[in-house]
Structure 1
Amino acid sequence: MTDITDSNTTDNSPADGSNTRSATVVDDRSDPTTDTITSTATAETPITAATNTTASTSPARTTHASLWRNPQYRAWFTADTASAVGLAMKGFAISLVAFSLTKSLPTAGWLATASMIAAQTADVFGGTLVDRHNRKRLIILNAICGAVLWGAVFALLASGLLTFPVFAVVIVAASTINGLLGSATNAMLRSIIPTADYPKAQSLNQGRDSVIALAGSPLGGVLYAFGMWVPFAVASIMYAIAGISAGMLRVDEHVRDMIGRNGERNAANDTSAVARGSFVDDFVEGWRWTLRRRTLMTLTTIAALLNFGVNGIFQSVQLQLVGSGVDSVRIGFVSTAVGAGMLIGAVIAARVCDRLAVGTGLVVMSVAALATLAPMIVSDAYPVMLVSSLLCGLPVPTINTLLMGFIFAKVPTKMQGRVNSSSNLMCLLPTMFCSAIAGSLLPTIGFRMTVALFLLALAANVAIVLAMPAVRSIPAADRWNEAEL
């Protein structure tokens, strides 16, 4: 599933659609608040199959300290971090470049919407692709495409040859490729660490994302001030580093071929691959599996409302500031405020994620998300935007860690890509139109009324969480084996 703010799962920036790193409520790297519930991816079942498979195939030890001692995790973390930095650099500049080329807020907003539609449409099939092919190769291919495409934008901007149609084509192409291949990173993590270490790994990812959000947008604003092409040059370099780091991974992915369709190992011959069905069969199997999990369906609804509300408000803030002529550095500080809140929130998440019940955390954090953004309905002053952004970042890491950890633990290894893509689509379907809605409404009804619309989605989410016993009763990590997805 997708993060409220980044995740990875995924490519959270409007240009990549993303996804996918957390069950984040937002799948957009340009806005750190988009990677919370996914995705992922992005923010990631049958209880017995998922648990047994992980325990027997994961090469890492079960202690949290083993994460940094595991060279495969270090290589994975480096690749993931490099791509996250690249996303932050180019994600910040996309709206500014689009507006500078067209002088139109609706056009800039619809470009972000078009990129998300392309990404999510591709991601529908990307999950099946990731489950059928070598994930390491897909990660490297995605990094190569990112380096080439954003390098081309850098070259065209530096030479003064970039036009809006060309820019739009590159954005949509990058989003489509990321939708097809981006979920491979999170899906591969299940082959690197055991389920017991995932809450710790997710809290580390949230802290890392918070630091990037804290420094990334101001740095992007400074780089943009030096030249519109500079953030894209840095993004291209970061994708190249991600590809090199992914090339250092040495993970045996053949374990997926030894797992039957019921999620159990092939007892007859552990060394022989189970015959695969067609692409269509695997695609349908992933959707059928996802749609039959009632709790998962409820969680995706919650994520969809959170993503739509939080992302919509932050898209409104960004476009409002761009349209008002605010300089790029001050615009970047809004994301810095979110990052500061997420950094504090990541510290809290690391302390409570192992023992806080998922249901309790969802209730508290959903109310907090609504309360922290409500002040913007009465004031559009820049200090109010900064304070609300800071406070809104606090609950994001905990929501991501709890939801993504629970879903990750309940989904079998062989199904990670398909469940991630199907749940991402449902989580992010309304969010695809946040930029277009914000860009269209701001010139007509103003900032406060636009924010009020997105706050209604957050209020609806609070009502659903309070009204659903199945969600409120999801236990802490040590009792996930007793819960059903």
Structure 2
Amino acid sequence: MPESSQAQTAPHRERTSPQRSESLWGNPTYRQWFTADTASTIGAAMRGFAISLIAFSLTQSVVLAGWLATFSQIATHVSDVFGGTVVDRHNRKGLIIANAVFGTLLWGTVFVLIALHAIAFPIFAIVTVAASAVNGLLANATNAMLRTIIPTREYPKAQSLNQGRDSVVSIAGSPLGGVLYAVAPWLPFAVASLMYAISGVSAAQLRVDEHVRDMVTTDRKSKRPDTASQADCTSDAAVAPDADATAESAHTSFFEDFIEGWRWTLRRHTLLAICVIAALVNFGLNGVFAAVNLQLVSTHVDSVRLGFVNTVMGVGMLIGAVIAARVCERVHMGTGLVVLSVTSLLTLLPMLFSNDYLVILASSLIVGLPIPTINSLLMGFVFAKVPSEMQGRVESASGMLSMIPTLFCSALAGSLLPRIGFGATIGLFLAVLAVNVVIALLMPSIRSLPAADHWDDASL
């Protein structure tokens, strides 16, 4: 945010300012936040790995397994559309705890039913979709709260730490999930339930005094429509209302806040261009790996080897996270996006000609290398340019725009594999990545995105 916006203080803003310690780890609130976020990430990795295996074991159908994954993603992203507004209107700490409680109960129920041999596919599908919907509604609270914990200048570093953490979880989580599943199919869900419980306990210890609902209540009657419209179009960060305006503030409705978030997002042309690139990359990458996962499941590859694919990709992302921590402040975002687009296509191209396990592992390793740097830059840029009171809504709106095509990757891969085979299915998703390369090269708004030290001069 611009310094003029950060410098203003008002009763409606969070009372706890981001702590400016020399090290992120010197900030005790950040450590508690990181613990809560890490535990929920591990929980998601454990249950995510086992869902396809359980679905296939119950139905013996890659089509049904693929459609279950698709319905889960649809539930996540449909609820996420409204989740950003929920996050901006309510206490984020409480939402993090609520998400952890639901995760503990729902996946604990699955664990018990599988252990008692009382699980049926319809019940498993209902719980999976319900858990995905709750997660989509509440999960944004974690990232939205980070704005109140650390200063903007430390966010790229924090994001590179998150990328490294996620890579470690991928490295250890998938083979661990495979081993647990081999021991007993209910074990991954038991561990997931435990991790969500730990996340809730850690979140309960956070000491951040939030007044999030007041942050999105302004006196709309005191604003002329033309003035509000002009402010939306010319400023990348909302200026906090002064104390007098706050004193006269009137609570706005959920619908008004929801529309405001989408209007703010859709008027940012650079953000929309980023969403287009992200949507195509997400569709291509997720489609390829959905096809890989279902192909290995259908050919009865053991769960340990299946999990090792995610492990190898996690190794690539961990190496990439180490690189990101060193270069993310100097890399031009435009150059990075073009590199990511080209690399994603070239590194997955060998799968078009071979479904050999070693070829899949090699492509999985290399494709993960540039992802942490790009994620750190893009998320840091958006984090810096979006006002605190809009974080949840803009994240959910841009996330929805970036993920709409991806919702159908698993269903599409599961439906195509039995009909046209592995190579042709991979070819379809690679064609999307090829289109993305052309778009990234031809869009000036993408190529001109600057490095972090020039973000103040860039428009979102």
What TM-score does the superposition give when structure 2 sets the normalisation length?
0.92
Residue deviations 1:43-79, cap 9 Å, x none?
xxx857765579x96733446x331111111110000
Moved more, 150-159 or 348-357: 348-357
Following superposition, the deviation at residue 269 of structure 1 comes to: 4.8
- Would you identify which runs of 4 or more consecutive aligned residues in structure 1 move more than 6 Å? none
1:429 to 2:404 alignment: yes
1:59 to 2:34 alignment: no
Following superposition, the deviation at residue 272 of structure 1 comes to: 5.1
2:18 maps to amino acid: A
Task: Find the aligned partners of 1:257 and 1:264 in 2 and give their Cα distance.
Answer: 15
Task: Find the aligned partners of 1:127 and 1:388 in 2 and give their Cα distance.
Answer: 35
Following superposition, the deviation at residue 83 of structure 1 comes to: 0.3
Task: Output aligned runs, 1:83-94, within 5 Å.
Answer: 83-94=40-51
1:217 to 2:174 alignment: yes
| Matching residue of 1:18 | none
| Matching residue of 2:450 | 475
Bigger radius of gyration: 2
Point out the structure with the larger helix share. 2
Which of 282, 287, 309 is the equivalent residue of 2:262? 287
List alignment gaps of at least 5 residues for structure 1. Answer: 1-45
Aligned alpha-carbon RMSD (Å)? 1.9
Which of 82, 93, 96 is the equivalent residue of 1:136? 93
Tell whether the 8 Å contact from 2:88 to 2:391 is kept in structure 1 after alignment. yes
Residue deviations 1:272-314, cap 9 Å, x none?
5843311111011111111111111110011100100000000
Task: Find the aligned partners of 1:403 and 1:108 in 2 and give their Cα distance.
Answer: 32
Residue deviations 1:228-267, cap 9 Å, x none?
0000000000000000000011112127735776722332
Tell whether the 8 Å contact from 2:46 to 2:189 is kept in structure 1 after alignment. yes
Task: Output aligned runs, 1:324-343, within 5 Å.
Answer: 324-343=299-318
| Matching residue of 2:25 | 68
| Matching residue of 1:379 | 354
Task: Find the aligned partners of 2:5 and 2:169 in 1 and give their Cα distance.
Answer: 32
1:146 to 2:121 alignment: no
Which of 362, 384, 389 is the equivalent residue of 1:409? 384
Note closer, same or farther for the CA distance 1:426–1:268 as it changes in structure 2 (3 Å cut). same
Following superposition, the deviation at residue 365 of structure 1 comes to: 1.8
Tell whether the 8 Å contact from 1:218 to 1:336 is kept in structure 2 after alignment. yes
Task: Find the aligned partners of 1:129 and 1:85 in 2 and give their Cα distance.
Answer: 24
Task: Find the aligned partners of 1:94 and 1:129 in 2 and give their Cα distance.
Answer: 28
SS of residue in 1 equivalent to 2:243: coil
Task: Find the aligned partners of 2:355 and 2:305 in 1 and give their Cα distance.
Answer: 15
Task: Output aligned runs, 1:60-459, within 5 Å.
Answer: 60-62=18-20, 65-254=22-211, 257=214, 263-269=238-244, 274-459=249-434
Task: Find the aligned partners of 2:83 and 2:98 in 1 and give their Cα distance.
Answer: 13
Tell whether the 8 Å contact from 2:90 to 2:213 is kept in structure 1 after alignment. no
Task: Find the aligned partners of 2:241 and 2:168 in 1 and give their Cα distance.
Answer: 43
Note closer, same or farther for the CA distance 1:52–1:404 as it changes in structure 2 (3 Å cut). farther
Note closer, same or farther for the CA distance 1:173–1:259 as it changes in structure 2 (3 Å cut). closer
Identity fraction in percent:
63
Following superposition, the deviation at residue 371 of structure 1 comes to: 1.1
Task: Find the aligned partners of 1:242 and 1:129 in 2 and give their Cα distance.
Answer: 20
Note closer, same or farther for the CA distance 1:430–1:448 as it changes in structure 2 (3 Å cut). same
Residue deviations 1:154-198, cap 9 Å, x none?
000000000000000001100111111111111111111111000
List alignment gaps of at least 5 residues for structure 2. Answer: 219-230, 232-237
SS of residue in 2 equivalent to 1:266: coil
Task: Find the aligned partners of 1:466 and 1:422 in 2 and give their Cα distance.
Answer: 25
Tell whether the 8 Å contact from 1:380 to 1:447 is kept in structure 2 after alignment. yes
Task: Find the aligned partners of 2:8 and 2:291 in 1 and give their Cα distance.
Answer: 44
Task: Find the aligned partners of 2:279 and 2:5 in 1 and give their Cα distance.
Answer: 25
1:122 maps to amino acid: S
What TM-score does the superposition give when structure 1 sets the normalisation length?
0.87
Task: Find the aligned partners of 2:8 and 2:320 in 1 and give their Cα distance.
Answer: 32
Task: Find the aligned partners of 1:159 and 1:454 in 2 and give their Cα distance.
Answer: 40
2:254 maps to amino acid: F
Tell whether the 8 Å contact from 2:217 to 2:251 is kept in structure 1 after alignment. no
